[in-house]
Structure 1
Amino acid sequence: MIPVFRRTARLLIALALTIPVLHTKGQDRAWPVVKKEMRPWTRWWWMGSAVNEQQLTDALTTYRTAGFGGVEIAPIYGAIGYEKQYVPYLSSRWIQLLRHTVTEAGKLDMGVDLTTGTGWPFGGPQVSAPFAASKLVVKEYHAPFTEKIRVKEGKQPAAVLQSLTAYNGSQVLQLKDKVAPDGTLNWTPPPGNWTLYALFNGKTRQMVKRAAPGGEGFTLDHLSIEALHTYLDRFDAAFGKKAPGTRAFYNDSYEVYGADWTESLPAAFAKNRGYDLSRYAREFTGNDNSDTVARLKSDYRETMSELLLNNFTRPWTDWAHHYGGVSKNQAHGSPGNLLDLYAAVDIPECETFGSTYFPIPGLRRDSADVRNVEPDPVMLKFASSAAHVAGHPLVSCETFTWLTEHFKTSLSQCKPEVEQCFLAGVNHVFYHGTTFSPPEVPWPGWLFYASVNFVPSNSFWPHLPGLNNYITRVQSVLQSGLPDNELLIYWPVYDVWNTPKGRDMPLKVHDIDEWLHPTPFYKQVTGLQKVGYSLDFVSDDLLSKAIVAGGKISTNSKAAPYKILVVPSAEIMPVATLEQILQLARQGATVLFQSLPKDVPGLGQLDVRRKKLKSLLASLHFTGTGIREMKLGKGKLLLSEDVSAALQQTGIQREKLTDSGLKFIRRKDEKDTYYYLVNHTPQTIDEETKLNEINKTVILLDPQTGLAGKGTTGKDNNVRVQLQPGEAVILKCTANAVDLPDWKYLRNTQIGDSIEINKWQLQFSNGGPFIPAPVQLASLASWTSLQDTAAQSFSGTGVYTASFELPVQKVSEYVLDLGIVHESARVWINGQDAGILWSIPFRLRIGKWLRLGENTIRIEVANLMANRIRYMDQHKIPWRRYHEINFVNINYKDFDASGWKVQPSGLEGPVRIIPYN
């Protein structure tokens, strides 16, 4: 017999799958039809894989009720005391549970993704030493050369000699064939001052981080295709050659530390770069800061990029396709060209780490609770640009990683952070994340060591559908049609690679101050976006596949075309890239150079390639001053330091809406154009906004509430936009007939007096550790200031009820303004559910629920988990006992909340009902 709560939950899900609950009744036709990919998904940690069928079914039902569209299974370490319940990774029982999850998710119209491993990076027991992540080990020998040529360190007993190079001034000899299997050197040096450099393929000995039981072992050598095949053989055996039914296989961010080599690298280098790397062993491994070393290392970095692309990313994607799935990969942190690596998979995925400062009034940001790192939208655009250029419809993002300290994240803090992702081109959000926890585990249940904790035990869980529905509405638009970006921006990766510093160059999120921020490319991208241009980045390889049609640049048959190619100042450019750029111009493209390249990358055949570049540059003859121009074939070249001015002269108009501080992103769905607008400024925006789109009918779509209506448009295709700080709106420009009411704008001038509600009944529910007693309030303040000491440690919901009189007024709308809220609220007016207020500015239109005379209002407020955790740590109540990292704070120190300040909770108000015309 199925328990009552399970039957009820399944009934709710059945209704959810048939009723368009996301939007206001009668207006859902203005929105795209919602698919599961449009809902937010969440990373789903299986601790010790201690799961069973019924618990998995119940958990999925809970997540679906909250508005999730899918889960991303990530097996990790387990909880202490539950070892007998662990299920070994990829065992027959584990595969059985995986297939059960896929089946049950399908019944709920949910999707399931699966990491191809446990923890991160890829690795495990099937990775023996020969296939483990490799590093270059260098040994230097001096006369009389009696020492054996081998690595003596105990951690590198199997290091394989790759080359032995002898130097005497300008004399260079290769001696590897003179070394016996035991390391004895059979060579008598000629007269001179000889030095030997031996290069060995050693091992990093890095183990999988946060591995699940059955997933422990060495990290994979991602540069070796033999290692990848050996690694994937274990999955083939576990799957029994039968597809597991998961939608996607995913790979977490590249964190293979110190892996700067692989055994096949010298051969690949010689083949692709045209010369022998070992010939320059002394320069490559030394501290010389010369141009030669910079070029040598640029060639090495390019070779690593090719190995990662061709020996891991592409064959792993092919393997995913073999099982009827797609690949989803986080390329950031990789020692390679991020654009090519992102473009090679089906769903490029970026990541937000830390929190961003937004000047939105009232948005909480305590410096003690955030990391000293901000997500950069330009970094996010590497993933979205690769997707747009390659024609991939989805761009995912691991979102909210360490947004704040554990238990201190509010839903209102999530909103601008996820909006920044949307503005950067993301349209498929994954939360970081949700930990599966058996129902018998006491509050707060099992938790992953890194926040944010999107778990049912979180105080904000009852209000999470507010955020989830918002994301769903936005993503329903951002997954429609194609991106509408006019500029294609060349990324000069060779300028990044051309440095003698270091060896490999992982392009990490945390190192953008070194490899991204100082570049002319970054300055151009941020400057152009600020003045209202939409753009994507393109790599040399992706550009090589572009063609011109109708004067526009087409990078892929599934991609939207671009109006112009912009080349920011690039010191170094391959000859083939410049030739392709000129060919695009001959075909009819417009190309804008900020400056012309000055040199070619790399070291091989340098003089020959330099002559070719010089010859190409000499063939270019620009006329004019300031913005110089050259006709070439059907197209033209422009040369201007002022890129924005040159774009204006070319007739490529910017979106002037950014002048007021609005941020935007556009999508085009056949003849319709969508604008997603966000106000992250501290000012209210109420203006007629000029759009470049010329369709005369503009529909306003409110992603916060689902409301829709025809906007007021003026001359020159202006549309009126009203946005409080922290609000967003979607404009749909269409030529189709629209059967919708007019959008109800609010006049700035309030009509009559606001109704302020001061007297409240407050009752607590759904929380702990103790339920405070009900109380009558003569005025609003944080409930932690109540005389009942239980209120200081309480985390959960407080229900405020009151009544008020509505006078007779000539009013077209009433707005409920909750003032200060800690941290989210659900509102009922006269017994009708008016919605969830989960973000700043905590305002809601409520006119349709009001009546003349007496009205009742009920507000359910949820606070943070912090006060309850503080109480538990102060009273040494155990709640965190995990293997491996156990539990850490935002600075990766042992977690202890006992010294925290009490966090304000509940309504502080003032709560006002404001009449408008």
Structure 2
Amino acid sequence: MIRSKTRLLAVPVAALMALTGLAVVEAAADAPSFGPAVPALTRGTFADPPASVRPKYRWWQPLAYTDDKELGRELDQIKRAGGGGAEVAPFSVEGTGNNTPEFLKTYGWGTPLWAQKTRTMLAEAKAKGLGLDFTIGPRWPATVPTVDDVNDPSAQQQVVFSHEFHKGGTSRSGELPVNFDTAPPAGAKRTLIAALVAKCSDAGCASSSGPRMLDRASVTDVTSKVDAQGALRVDFPGDDKSTYALIAFYQTPSGQSLSGYTATGTNYALDPFSEAGAKATTDFYDEHILTPDVRKLLAQLGESDLFEDSLELGKTQKWTSELVGQWTKRRGYSPVEVLPALAGAGDQGITDRPFFDFGGGVGARVRTDYRQTLSDLYIRNRLDVLREWGHRHHISTRIQPYGVPVDVSEAASHIDVPEGESLAFGQSVGAYSNVQDYRVVATGAHMSGRPVVSDECCAFSGSVWGSTAGAGSDASNLQAVYRGFAGGVNQVVWHGLPYLSRGPAGAGPQSAWPGMTYGGNTSYSEAWGDKGGPNWADYRAVNDNLARMQLVLRQGKPRFDLAVYWQDFGMNGTGTTGSGSNKLIQSSSALASAGYTYEYLSPAHLKRKDASYSRGALFGDGSAYHAVLLNDQKTMPVAAAEKLLRLARQGLPVVIVGDVPSAVPGAGDAARQDARLKSVVSTLLRQRGVVRVASEADAPRALQRLHVAPAATPHDGSGAILDVRRKAGSTDYYYLYNQTNTATAQKVTLTGDGVPYKLDTWTGKITPITDYTPGHGAVTVPVRLAANDATVITVTPRHDGTFTGHPGHPGRPREHGKTVPQAVKLDEWSLSVDSWGPGASGLPGDTAHKTLGPVTVKAGTDGALPAWSAITPANGYPVDLKDVSGVGTYTAHVTLDGGWKGIDAAELDLGTPVDTVRVNVNGRDLPSLNQSDPRHVQVGRYLRPGANTITVRVASTLLNAVRVAPGTGAASRTPMDYGLFGPATLTAAGGDRPVLTAEALEPELPLADGGYNRATVLVTNASGRAANVAVAAAAADGISAKPERGRVRVPARGSVTVPVDLRDKGVASGTSTVKVTASSDAGPSATTAVTLRHSGDLALNPGGTPFPRVVADAGQDRYPAKLAVDGSPSTFWVSWGRAAGQGPTPADPVRYGVDFGAPVEFGSVVVGGRSSYGPRDYGVQVSSDGRTWRTVATATDTPKEGGTTAFARVSARYVRLDITRSWDGIGANVQMSGFSVRP
């Protein structure tokens, strides 16, 4: 999206098989033969995945101003870090004179030297067993050096209009009006598309500030009357009581360009809708880059990707030379006389507030036809042309198909490797971060049978040198990757790995220590490589983990429960296009909470030959949907409705939520088509397998009535876990992702024959799961996941070298005595830090190291250890770590008493260290640790009775060192806290005696005065016998804490979750602690604690804990609903809608509220405004069940800056705003910086 990209190539399959003897599973049967084969998951490939399934790196390079040896070294760095390849992305060269034509004749993109560098990199990648991809050109959008004339026919085009008003009975003559809505670029040729005369529906339209409504029947095409000099004489009929508009539409170049990359200076963005635009790229490659040596290497490598970024084509209104002809052919009517509906329609053509419009919904239909036609041309003239050309050269297309009006899921099916991105698709941690945009992209790959769905990850704004691996923050890489995987992604392209230096020494801040970045030391993350942060060394383990997940997620074929019908030309995310009338179903939906998985079915997909229903599945050779859902779908093409009817008659279950389709989306022959559609839908509604419900919340029950069950069913109904299922032969693979910001522990029932195995993606081990319950064609397994963490489970009947057999349920070992080992607090550590900073030369990559310490650090009364920023002389320490980046080594000595004898399982809880962690116990290195879950480090087999030494190595990011280094320009960056923060504890988890553990899944919870919350405690019985356990809770004065079950039976080697209801009875500030104790009748006991943070705001939830839970209509992915309840006035929520007129109205309100988890009493709401974008009119509604609502207050003309709405005190579980108008009354959405509820 709004950043450059670098992607890596796949290892050639033939070479891979020759080198490793790997078995290969072919891509889906209906996929094109061109493309990668998928390595089969075996014990060997899972332990050490091949390069073809490993993450790639966007590799930013300063054009051809690079050293061949350094290029080889950087590819070595990628290989050592567990990467599978690189994507070459050219950037400009830093320094005076390095963007001149003379310099660029030698070093520019597309020069002979660039072609030579291409050959060098391909040869190095081949020798190292890596893939190599290339961006389609320098930066984005696509340009080539040969298109340096603004009027080149292959350059991007736009439509502009001019107008004038005249009274009836008058005349005009002379030049057509030139008051263009958008000024054509200097020197641009103007081509008249049409000159039209139309009567205004309202005589006062000339002075109107809203859409100027025109009489559709009055539109007259007068283009033929325009003379060669561009003059026109018109006599307007009628009298002075009528008003006429003369409107002239012109095609001109958009003028969007790039400069500083090629010797030809300014290069103009290519037309994405014309074949000429695509061929400008392919012809240039054929003539200037694909030399004989390069072609030979591409053939030997087997496959490389040509990557095109998202289409960020500015705010001009899109056009292309053949649009009128193609519109006429495809839509069945000429667009010329309806062009006024496009006047001022915006860069996406989706506004409801154009400059001119037609009544009766005609204008909206015309704009839909406009977007559909552009989408058709983008697919035919760009995607198909690039792919056909690429295949001739052993090149695949990898493209982000969004940014202009495009049917994304259909477009993705015309791409070899469709790609999304974490930045445009939202990247917020917790609170049910949406994954649906990824699913739209993935649907296309699944339709075409392509095995790979890619993700540009993880570009965090302002976070270069500061992104973390597993820490739960918006700059946490693993949570962003895991989100994409939950949306159907199975290839990560890291953003990114910059070349060592962006220019000659001294050329600028990116040509000095630490080195080149994406855009300076305050820009987007990340700057991976040997010159990067101290945590880089640990990314081998991170990439091994991701490679194993990607291997799993490419096995067999995808399986989804539902297909959601979805016709749109863009998506909801910033940087895509925004959405039209349809909204994606959020990841916090009732469907998702019930375990249903779903993709998005375009009407184009229903035209496919394989769109059939048999053996209980639609597209049985693809995603095998068991039902189709229409979500408040008001429009539908007749052909799509007829196909759904045929499928329903064949037995396909259909659930219709809300409105039924009553109009076709386009304007061609609309009256007759609408009538036909209504007849078809009426027949559809009468089919036995078609159920209509009022809301999406009712959809799960409707599906159950139709005997459509989710393949994976989480038992607690919290909606925490999202799943992805792949089926390969008799084996079912499940990827399970905790999408919340708190840990979850629950049972999940997985469809599949056989027995379950855990695929440990951090260690590469495949082990049977013994604690499971078999069922009919399914198994139920316990799942515990840290916040934003993921795991992989397989269900299979296989018994072979990969799945080596199942030992069954374990027997009961003999237990000796009842002496129970007590948890050991590790409160004192010796800390030494290898500090990183600029070397003496100050050059990129010259990092100096200095040892600081050792120093003794001790935990406070709460068990917390000091961050490095607090270890300073001012705080009594002999060293100063305030601005230090580096690697800290913590050493603790602990003596285990006799109670630990016979203990063979123990967990080391490290709290939340920053950033990456390695552990050594008694001189033995532990296997790679799950960086998302440092609270459960398994150390039992490394411990011994008596004295033990535990060493924890914590590697930081490089940010703090970069901040204080001279010349980096990063002094304004906020410093990070590094280190081992604790509390650090050692807890027995199993052995030859009864062991009981208790863990608070939410260590911190908000609890407001008068409010409710719920803590969840996981009680685990590690002994071989079931235990009867009493659970008790103790809280501070003014706080009520009551376990929902005072006694529970915990199975042998099993766990039980115990909810604890919390009530605040008058504590409005500060913190308090709830202690929960679990005591077994057999003797063992365990205690855990929850910190409560008190306030006077019943809705406040900055940590994204399960309650209070936001309940809101769809919002922007980059501005999720949780941002209105995080307590920060600088963050804000933005409702769905990206075009004028899509904001709230009385007929279509926007709703925002919270679920408290239980009834509470309150008497006011406080709304934080957003100037001209905040709520203006709204009702305050309450509910006991989330379905039936009553209004308790109405607010009109509320202040722009927000304010308080008071009402008679009520008791309810839910409260929401029913927003009917924003201060920007014609705007695209409504925004709120805060939402508070007061007692």
Aligned to 2:447: 389
CA contact (8 A) 1:772 1:791 kept: no
Q: Distance in 2 between matches of 1:724 and 1:167?
A: 63
Q: Distance in 2 between matches of 1:137 and 1:422?
A: 42
1:208 aligns with 2:272: no
Q: Distance in 1 between matches of 2:947 and 2:795?
A: 42
CA contact (8 A) 1:381 1:425 kept: yes
Aligned to 2:956: 863
1:782 aligns with 2:846: no
Of 304, 310, 319 in structure 1, the residue corresponding to residue 374 of structure 2 is 304
Q: Secondary structure at the match of 2:612?
A: strand
Aligned to 1:138: 161
Aligned to 1:364: none
**Superposed counterparts of 1:469-480, under 5 Å:** 469-480=544-555
1:915 aligns with 2:985: no
Q: Secondary structure at the match of 1:387?
A: helix
1:667 aligns with 2:757: no
Q: Mark the CA change 1:541 to 1:79 in structure 2 (over 3 Å): closer, same or farther.
A: same
Aligned to 2:673: 609
CA contact (8 A) 2:141 2:312 kept: yes
- Matched AA of 2:226: V
How far 1:259 sits from its partner (Å)? 4.3
1:159 aligns with 2:190: yes
How far 1:834 sits from its partner (Å)? 1.3
Stretches of structure 2 that go unaligned for 5 or more consecutive residues are 1-15, 23-40, 201-216, 344-354, 471-475, 506-510, 839-848, 859-864, 991-1239
Q: Per residue, is there more helix in 1 or in 2?
A: 1
1:196 aligns with 2:246: yes
Q: Distance in 2 between matches of 1:744 and 1:897?
A: 57
User: C-alpha deviations, 1:713-749, integer Å up to 9, x for none?
Assistant: 22533223333444432111011224368699999x9
Aligned to 1:250: 307
Of 679, 687, 701 in structure 2, the residue corresponding to residue 645 of structure 1 is 701
Q: Mark the CA change 1:621 to 1:506 in structure 2 (over 3 Å): closer, same or farther.
A: closer
Aligned to 1:718: 780
1:87 aligns with 2:107: yes
Q: Secondary structure at the match of 1:904?
A: coil
Aligned to 1:182: 229
Q: Distance in 1 between matches of 2:310 and 2:829?
A: 50
Aligned to 1:428: 491
Q: Distance in 1 between matches of 2:755 and 2:652?
A: 32
Q: Secondary structure at the match of 1:821?
A: coil
Q: Mark the CA change 1:766 to 1:82 in structure 2 (over 3 Å): closer, same or farther.
A: farther
CA contact (8 A) 1:684 1:722 kept: yes
**Superposed counterparts of 1:263-274, under 5 Å:** 263-274=321-332
Q: Distance in 2 between matches of 1:470 and 1:524?
A: 24
CA contact (8 A) 1:548 1:589 kept: no
Q: Distance in 2 between matches of 1:68 and 1:82?
A: 35
How far 1:158 sits from its partner (Å)? 0.7
CA contact (8 A) 2:185 2:254 kept: no
Stretches of structure 1 that go unaligned for 5 or more consecutive residues are 1-13, 21-25, 361-373, 494-504, 623-629, 880-895
Of 619, 628, 640 in structure 2, the residue corresponding to residue 565 of structure 1 is 628
Q: Secondary structure at the match of 2:714?
A: helix
CA contact (8 A) 2:886 2:958 kept: yes
Aligned to 2:464: 406
How far 1:404 sits from its partner (Å)? 5.7
Q: Secondary structure at the match of 1:592?
A: strand
Q: Distance in 2 between matches of 1:28 and 1:398?
A: 29
Aligned to 1:765: 834
How far 1:315 sits from its partner (Å)? 1.1
Of stretches 611-620 and 395-404 in structure 1, the one that deviates more from structure 2 is 611-620
**Superposed counterparts of 1:194-593, under 5 Å:** 195-208=245-258, 211=261, 216-238=266-288, 239-240=290-291, 243=295, 245=298, 247-257=304-314, 258-285=316-343, 286-288=355-357, 290=359, 291-353=361-423, 356-359=427-430, 376-402=434-460, 405-412=463-470, 413-438=476-501, 442-449=512-519, 450-456=523-529, 457-493=532-568, 507=571, 509-510=573-574, 515=579, 519=582, 522=585, 526-545=589-608, 546-555=610-619, 557=621, 559-593=622-656
CA contact (8 A) 2:136 2:308 kept: yes
Q: Mark the CA change 1:175 to 1:778 in structure 2 (over 3 Å): closer, same or farther.
A: closer
How far 1:766 sits from its partner (Å)? 5.8
Q: Secondary structure at the match of 1:401?
A: coil
**Superposed counterparts of 1:39-54, under 5 Å:** 39-54=54-69
Q: Distance in 2 between matches of 1:481 and 1:72?
A: 27
- Matched AA of 1:676: Y
CA contact (8 A) 2:258 2:268 kept: yes
Q: Secondary structure at the match of 1:767?
A: strand
Of 69, 77, 101 in structure 2, the residue corresponding to residue 62 of structure 1 is 77
Q: Mark the CA change 1:87 to 1:30 in structure 2 (over 3 Å): closer, same or farther.
A: closer
Q: Which has the higher contact order (CA 8 A, sep 6+)?
A: 1
CA contact (8 A) 1:328 1:345 kept: yes
Q: Mark the CA change 1:529 to 1:404 in structure 2 (over 3 Å): closer, same or farther.
A: farther
How far 1:614 sits from its partner (Å)? 3.4
Q: Distance in 1 between matches of 2:552 and 2:576?
A: 31
- Matched AA of 1:847: G
- Matched AA of 2:175: E
CA contact (8 A) 1:700 1:743 kept: no
CA contact (8 A) 1:815 1:913 kept: yes
CA contact (8 A) 1:117 1:123 kept: yes
Aligned to 2:967: 878
Q: Secondary structure at the match of 1:255?
A: coil
RMSD of the TM alignment (CA)? 3.4
Q: Secondary structure at the match of 1:800?
A: strand
Of stretches 676-685 and 48-57 in structure 1, the one that deviates more from structure 2 is 676-685
Of 804, 824, 834 in structure 2, the residue corresponding to residue 739 of structure 1 is 804
- Matched AA of 2:189: A
Q: Distance in 1 between matches of 2:42 and 2:291?
A: 48
- Matched AA of 2:866: A
CA contact (8 A) 2:439 2:599 kept: yes
User: C-alpha deviations, 1:44-75, integer Å up to 9, x for none?
Assistant: 11123322221111000011101111111111
How far 1:521 sits from its partner (Å)? 5.1
Q: Distance in 1 between matches of 2:983 and 2:786?
A: 18
Q: Distance in 1 between matches of 2:422 and 2:260?
A: 20
User: C-alpha deviations, 1:289-339, integer Å up to 9, x for none?
Assistant: 631111121111111111111111211111211211111110122212111
- Matched AA of 1:639: R
Q: Distance in 2 between matches of 1:841 and 1:299?
A: 53
CA contact (8 A) 2:403 2:576 kept: no
1:656 aligns with 2:713: yes
- Matched AA of 2:734: Y
Q: Distance in 1 between matches of 2:681 and 2:456?
A: 43
Q: Mark the CA change 1:829 to 1:442 in structure 2 (over 3 Å): closer, same or farther.
A: farther
- Matched AA of 1:40: P
How far 1:453 sits from its partner (Å)? 1.4
CA contact (8 A) 2:155 2:253 kept: yes
CA contact (8 A) 1:761 1:802 kept: yes
How far 1:424 sits from its partner (Å)? 0.9
